[in-house]
Amino acid sequence: MSFLLPSSGSSAAAEKQIELQKEQITKQDTQLAAQETNLAQKTQAGMKARRGGGLRSLLSSERTDSELGVTSKLGGM
């Protein structure tokens, strides 16, 4: 009947496994929170950029034709 009772070695291993799983869950929760924070920051930055964009988007250094979008006359050409 000794096979019904866990030995002290297996219970220690089970406790160690449970502890490792708890650590993994904690790490995953931390990573998920960081991803949510990053997404929220990107969303806020996008909203802020759309609100106060003005001519800055036309003069962006990322555009190769940034100067073509700016004219001195109102209404275009």
Q: Taking the model in full, what pTM does it have?
A: 0.49
Please check whether residue 75 lies inside any domain of the structure.
Answer: no
Q: How many domains does the chain have?
A: 1
Please check whether residue 29 lies inside any domain of the structure.
Answer: yes
Please check whether residue 53 lies inside any domain of the structure.
Answer: no
Please check whether residue 60 lies inside any domain of the structure.
Answer: no
Torsion-angle region of 54 (φ positive above 0: left; ψ -120 to 50: alpha; else: beta):
left
Please check whether residue 3 lies inside any domain of the structure.
Answer: no
Q: Tell me the CB-side half-sphere exposure of residue 52, using CA atoms within 13 A.
A: 4
Please check whether residue 16 lies inside any domain of the structure.
Answer: yes
Domain, as residue range, for 29 = 8-48
The model's pLDDT over 13-66, given as tens digits with 9 standing for 90+, comes to 899 999 999 999 999 999 999 999 999 999 998 888 777 655 555 555 666 665
